[in-house]
Amino acid sequence: MGLKTQFSLFAPMKSTTRFLLLTSSLLLLTCATHVTSVTTCPPCGNTTVPFPLSTTATCGDPLYKIRCSSTGTLIFDTLNNSYPIESIDPKTQRLVIQPAPLIPNTCITTDKVHQGIQLNNSLPFNITSSNTIVYLNCTLLLLQSPLNCSSSSLCHSYINATASVSTCQSGPVCCTFRTGGSSTSYMIRVRDVGCSAYSSFVNLDWALPVDRWSRPGLEIQWQSPRETVCGSQTDCDSATSTCREDGFSSNGIRRCFCNGDLLWDPIHGVCTQTQL
Ligand SMILES: *[C@@H]1O[C@H](CO)[C@@H](O)[C@H](O)[C@H]1NC(C)=O
Ligand SMILES: *[C@@H]1O[C@H](CO)[C@@H](O)[C@H](O)[C@H]1NC(C)=O
Ligand SMILES: *[C@@H]1O[C@H](CO)[C@@H](O)[C@H](O)[C@H]1NC(C)=O
Ligand SMILES: *[C@@H]1O[C@H](CO)[C@@H](O)[C@H](O)[C@H]1NC(C)=O
Ligand SMILES: *[C@@H]1O[C@H](CO)[C@@H](O)[C@H](O)[C@H]1NC(C)=O
Ligand SMILES: *[C@@H]1O[C@H](CO)[C@@H](O)[C@H](O)[C@H]1NC(C)=O
Ligand SMILES: *[C@@H]1O[C@H](CO)[C@@H](O)[C@H](O)[C@H]1NC(C)=O
């Protein structure tokens, strides 16, 4: 009888414990989902930070790291330098950075010490083919290059019509080109044996007079993000995805692959019912 009482006392306690454990593990699961599955980053100042761009290790996709400065400006880091982000278009997976300014009273951009804009080619960002680059204060060597460095090159109109680059009028050669070749996918090179300054314009209509050009910018695109990397199922949203080995890579990486008919939506970072 004593044993029975003990047992009956024990049994409800056990199920309470079980209930508590279940509740807390559900809570843990919920927390884990929020931390490790796709979470869009909070705004930086007034600027929305769309997926997969990531301002902290726990939001977005950390491979797509950018920075939010203390003044609420988004910053794009290159290998040795950083540039303010002017705009972001998550639908086209592109962002525009502000090119480096000239060192005052010179025709040398402040990033010449870093050899211009140099992207890390191991990261999922590259320079789009929508940029018109004007190279300023170039050496005569550039006349041998495939760039348009002729006396009718657009860069001359730009220099003539732009007060802020009047220091570049003395440069022996200037050149104009459109990005897009493999040599400009990850860099806009600035150096002594080439050109000492540059500017860049996105989707520039070459027929427009210079006073109607938009402000300088360099457009960069990012690759579509893959499914979120997971260690175990708790890292995935169990309702929509399953943690399993990535068939495309043999290095044992696991990802949250979408369940059933659901499709991975790389724009929003979710498994979704609707066709993209
Ligand atoms: C950001 O938002 C604050 C508060 O709404 C506003 O005062 C400020 O002007 C905004 N800044 C920009 C750059 O839009
Ligand atoms: C043009 O570039 C050269 C080489 O870097 C530099 O010595 C010269 O000062 C530059 N010209 C101007 C006007 O800054
Ligand atoms: C970039 O930084 C690395 C390490 O700090 C340095 O070794 C390299 O020379 C730098 N490159 C340029 C172009 O500044
Ligand atoms: C380039 O990016 C890769 C991948 O994140 C990183 O491992 C590497 O250290 C970066 N290289 C430099 C020079 O910063
Ligand atoms: C250089 O650009 C100018 C202005 O766009 C153009 O008229 C000229 O034909 C170009 N020259 C070469 C060699 O492409
Ligand atoms: C730029 O100005 C120089 C000097 O005034 C002039 O010779 C040249 O024709 C102008 N070039 C263009 C493209 O406006
Ligand atoms: C740049 O990135 C885009 C988008 O991921 C890709 O389609 C393109 O092939 C890349 N270009 C180069 C030269 O790597």
Q: What would the pLDDT profile of 165-205 be if each residue is shown by its tens digit?
A: 999 999 889 999 999 988 889 999 999 999 999 999 999 99
Number of domains in the chain: 2
Does residue 152 fall inside a structural domain?
Answer: yes
| Cβ–Cβ < 8 Å for 202, 236 | no
Q: Which pair of structure tokens corresponds to residue 122?
A: 């191991």
Does residue 144 fall inside a structural domain?
Answer: yes
Does residue 265 fall inside a structural domain?
Answer: yes
Examine the domain organization and report whether 137 and 208 are in the same domain. Answer: yes
- Residue range 121-178, pLDDT digits in tens: 999 999 999 999 999 999 999 999 999 999 999 999 999 999 999 999 998 899 999 9
Q: Tell me which residue of 133, 109, 124, 132 sits closest to 76, measured CA to CA.
A: 124
Does residue 157 fall inside a structural domain?
Answer: yes
Q: Which residue has the tokens 């399953």?
A: 242
Q: Which residues of 34-64 are buried (b: 16+ CB within 10 A; e: fewer)?
A: eebbbbbbeebeeeebbbbbbbeeebbbebb
Range of the domain at 264: 228-273
Does residue 116 fall inside a structural domain?
Answer: yes
Q: Which residue ranges have their beta carbon within 6 Å of ligand 2? A: 106-108, 137, 167, 170-171, 192, 196
Q: Which residue has the tokens 């930086």?
A: 44
Angle at 143 between CA 138 and CA 145, to 5 degrees: 100
Does residue 118 fall inside a structural domain?
Answer: yes
Q: Which residue ranges have their beta carbon within 6 Å of ligand 7? A: 126, 182, 185, 221, 223
Determine if ligand 6 sits within 6 Å of the CB of residue 148: no
Q: Which pair of structure tokens corresponds to residue 68?
A: 């939010």
- Residue range 205-246, pLDDT digits in tens: 999 999 999 999 999 999 999 998 888 999 898 899 999 998
Q: Which pair of structure tokens corresponds to residue 185?
A: 């996918």
Examine the domain organization and report whether 251 and 188 are in the same domain. Answer: no
Does residue 122 fall inside a structural domain?
Answer: yes
